[in-house]
C-alpha cells in the first residue's frame, strides 16, 4: 500500500437516489454521504473528495448532468442505481448504462443497491428457501411484479411467509431466486445467494472502485 493518508470518498446524487443504500452495498463505512445535489434550500454540496461516487436513481436529469459536467472524470464513478426499475430485464439496464456512459463520457455501472446491500450481509435461510420452493412453479408470471401481488392472500395460505420473505428481500431478488429455482430446483442456499449477489451488478462496480481507490492512494502518497 502506498504511504500517506487514506483517500476520502464522497457519495453524492439527488435526494432519494439511493446514496445510503449504495454506501451500505459497498461497505464504505468511512465514505461521506453529501447532502442531496437537488436540495432547493441549500447550496450545492462541495464535492472535493479524492473519489466521488455519483448515484443516479435509474435515470439522469438536468441537475445530474450539470453537476457531473463539473466533476473530474478520473475521480468519479457513476452508479446507475435502481436498475430493477429500468425496462423489463437486466439487458435494458445495461443498455441504459451504456447510453449514459456515452453521453456523460464517464463509466456508468448499473446496480440494484437494495439487493446488493442484502446479499453482502444476509443469508438465504431455510425458511426463505421453503417459501421460495412453494412458489417456484407459480403459473402467473405477474405474481412478482408488485409487492401487493406477491403477498396477496388469494395466492395461497402462506401469506405470512411471503410477507416475511418480502421483508427480508427486495422483490427483484425474490423474482430472480424463483427463476433460478425453477430451472435448478436443487440449488443450495449458498449458490442462490451468489446468484443474487451477481444479479445485483455490484461486483463490477466494486472492482472499479477498488482500482480507483488504489490510484487515489497513489496520488496522495506521491
Ligand atoms: N427499486 C429500488 N429501490 C432502491 C434501490 N436502492 C435504493 N432504493 C430505494 O430508494 C429509496 C431511497 O434510498 P436511500 O438509500 O435512502 O437514498 P438516499 O439517496 O440516501 O436518500 P436521502 O439521503 O434521503 O437523500 C429507499 O426507499 C430505497 O429502498 C434499488 O436499487 N432499487
Ligand atoms: Mg441517505
d(CA 135, CA 51): 43
User: Which residue puts its alpha carbon closest to atom 11 of ligand 1?
Assistant: 16
User: Which residue puts its alpha carbon closest to atom 3 of ligand 1?
Assistant: 82
For the stretch 108-125, pLDDT in tens is 999 999 999 999 988 999
Residues with C-beta less than 6 Å from any ligand 1 atom: 13, 15-21, 36, 81-82, 84-85, 112-114
Question: Pocket of ligand 1, candidates 10, 13, 21: which has the most ligand atoms within 8 Å of its Cβ, to mutate?
Answer: 21
User: Which residue puts its alpha carbon closest to atom 9 of ligand 1?
Assistant: 18
Assign 24 a pLDDT band (cuts: 50, 70, 90): very high
d(CA 51, CA 10): 7
Q: What is the DSSP string of 2-69?
A: -SSPPPPEEEEESTTSSHHHHHHHTT-TTPEEPPPTT-TTSPPP---SSEEEEEEESS--HHHHHHHT
* Cell numbers given for 196: 443474487
Asked if residues 35 and 42 have their Cβ atoms less than 8 Å apart, the reply is yes
Assign 3 a pLDDT band (cuts: 50, 70, 90): low
Ligand closest to 113 (CA) is 1
pTM of the model: 0.95
Q: Which helix (H) or strand (E) holds 94?
A: helix 90-104
Q: Which residue in this structure is represented by grid cell 459536467?
A: 69
Q: Which domains does the chain possess?
A: 9-112+201-221 (3.40.50.300), 121-198 (no CATH)
CA of 82 to the centre of ligand 2 (A): 14
CA of 18 to the centre of ligand 1 (A): 3
The pLDDT assigned to 7 comes to 96
User: Which residue puts its alpha carbon closest to atom 14 of ligand 1?
Assistant: 18
For the stretch 70-112, pLDDT in tens is 999 999 999 999 999 999 899 999 999 999 999 999 999 999 9
* Cell numbers given for 27: 461497505
Amino acid at each position: 500500500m502506498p504511504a500517506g493518508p487514506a483517500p476520502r470518498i464522497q457519495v453524492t446524487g439527488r435526494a432519494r437516489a439511493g446514496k445510503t443504500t449504495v454506501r451500505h452495498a459497498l461497505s464504505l463505512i468511512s465514505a461521506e454521504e453529501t447532502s442531496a445535489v437537488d436540495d432547493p434550500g441549500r447550496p450545492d454540496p462541495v464535492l472535493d473528495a479524492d473519489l466521488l461516487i455519483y448515484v443516479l436513481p435509474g435515470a439522469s436529469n438536468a441537475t445530474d448532468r450539470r453537476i457531473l459536467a463539473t466533476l473530474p472524470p478520473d475521480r468519479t464513478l457513476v452508479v446507475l442505481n435502481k436498475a430493477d426499475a429500468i425496462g423489463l430485464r437486466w439487458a435494458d439496464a445495461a443498455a441504459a448504462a451504456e447510453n449514459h456512459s456515452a453521453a456523460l463520457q464517464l463509466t456508468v455501472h448499473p446496480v440494484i443497491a437494495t439487493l446488493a446491500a442484502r446479499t453482502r450481509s444476509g443469508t438465504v435461510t431455510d425458511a426463505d428457501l421453503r417459501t421460495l420452493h412453494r412458489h417456484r412453479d407459480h403459473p402467473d408470471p405477474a405474481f412478482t411484479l408488485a409487492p401487493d401481488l406477491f403477498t396477496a392472500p388469494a395466492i395461497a395460505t402462506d401469506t405470512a411467509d411471503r410477507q416475511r420473505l418480502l421483508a427480508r428481500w427486495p422483490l427483484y431478488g425474490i423474482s430472480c431466486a424463483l427463476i433460478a429455482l425453477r430451472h435448478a430446483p436443487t440449488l443450495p442456499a449458498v449458490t442462490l445467494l451468489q446468484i443474487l449477489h451477481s444479479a445485483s451488478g455490484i461486483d463490477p462496480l466494486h472492482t472499479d472502485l477498488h482500482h480507483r481507490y488504489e490510484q487515489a492512494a497513489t496520488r496522495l502518497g506521491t
